[in-house]
Structure 1
Amino acid sequence: MDSAATPPLHDARADGVLTLTLNRPERKNSLSEEMMAALQTALDAAREDRDIRVIVLKSTGNVFCAGHDLKEMTAARAHDDRGRAYYTQVMDACAHLMQTIVTHPKPVIAEVDGMATAAGLQLVASCDLAIASDEARFCTPGVNIGLFCSTPMVALSRNVSRKQAMEMLLTGEVIDAGTAREFGLVNRVVPRAYLAQVTAKYAETIASKSPLTLKTGKEAFYRQVEMPLADAYRHCAQVMVDNMLARDAEEGIGAFLEKRAPEWTGE
């Protein structure tokens, strides 16, 4: 198949869920310039789309994502600056993409089957939730080729303990899905045959909530987690006050007391 004629990303939507599928299995779904640009464009478009409440990231083939495209990275060494400007551009684009996921108003779920390595693991760790098949594998192998996984480390170290993060980063060894769950890198591990079904159930459950409440809660979570305890309580107390004054909170509480289903407006 001619990869030039194949869109790097396939998107589909149903019932408030946008599914973005990395669609370059012949290149191990690597985060090439084209792939990152496609993901960035899709995520940016979804930000203001009121019909989208949850985003799922998945892939085709037996590799979820192999990280940066090393062929592209190697080709840049032929530049006069040995690739410095190109590497800076690529790393900046990747950092922006990962931060877009974290700061996105819609919850993002990674559906992981196969191997997720280096920046591919970073992609999983940047998502709000991750559901993995029992065939999924994870690693930060940069140390094996003389390139420490420094940017994947940012997302990894915000998901697992320091000792576990350093174990992965220093050894470059592959961990299985069960170990990834023990480490806290993924939420659930399920048989491959049920992966899509379980992910869809999570997405459906979350999509049924108030979009304003999801946006409010996700933003508050990532802000408070980096704050000292007193500052976190101060910030979240104000978030609660503002949330209580929202129309959706009024509707949700009223529906609960009246024993009926709420009707969300996103306000």
Structure 2
Amino acid sequence: MDKQILERILENAEVAPGLDILDISGGQLLAGILAGNPKSVTAVNLPKETALAYAAEPRVRGIQADWEDGRLDGCFDRIVLYGALPKDTSIKRLLRRLAGLLKDDGRLSIAWDPAKAQEMPPAQELVKLFEPHFHVEIMVANRQLCQVSGVKRDPLAQVHCGVTHTHGGLTHTHTHGDIAHEHAPEPGATPIEELLVLMRYLVSHNDAHAQEVAELASQLQAAGKDVAYDEIMDAVSDFDMVNAKLDAILAQLTVEEF
């Protein structure tokens, strides 16, 4: 790999000293990662000769595992993935899985050579797929390199008990059966101000309940109903993408003058 490309990938991934890093690059990024003095590197599916070359390196833990495999575990500051994804990979499920392996404020970077990984989605499309789980800060798309890098989002923590609760400072009440609820803008608010209040309520309410659905769906997985679990989580990811778009519109409207 070209040295400048390697350096740019690792810079965009914010690989820094003292971090725990998951390397999913088949060894292509390993030398550069180690040069950054990490605390540890878990390297997935290293070629035999690469594994032998780093066998005496105490910071490197090599494992043979699929990204869906339970052997791929840990809690990382950075995950760097380079190269084409395995055939028929569900990118939504992959991103959800990798988000679960990151520490709070951890960063995921996915990079590839567009000439060698033509089956990868366009970088702009991958950004949209990142959005439910990551705040994307970097996107590169040129003839030499494509890369998307983002920080893990903090899910909204809400307590639901079927009684009054709040999201984003907007108090409302409802029961999960008849969906009765209430919200109110400030007295004398203009129509656009009422719209902004309603949109804030909608975004925060949707985020919280999507998280609740995801948490409850884990019971299906525990019961061995993996297909149903995956379908629900894919639907939640789709919903999160729509909600992220609504949130972006809200942010734009908030800064505009009417």
Q: Report which structure shows greater RCO (CA 8 Å, sep ≥6).
A: 1
Tell me whether the two structures share a fold, i.e. TM-score over 0.5: no
TM-score when normalising by structure 2: 0.27
**Larger Rg belongs to:** 2
TM-score when normalising by structure 1: 0.26
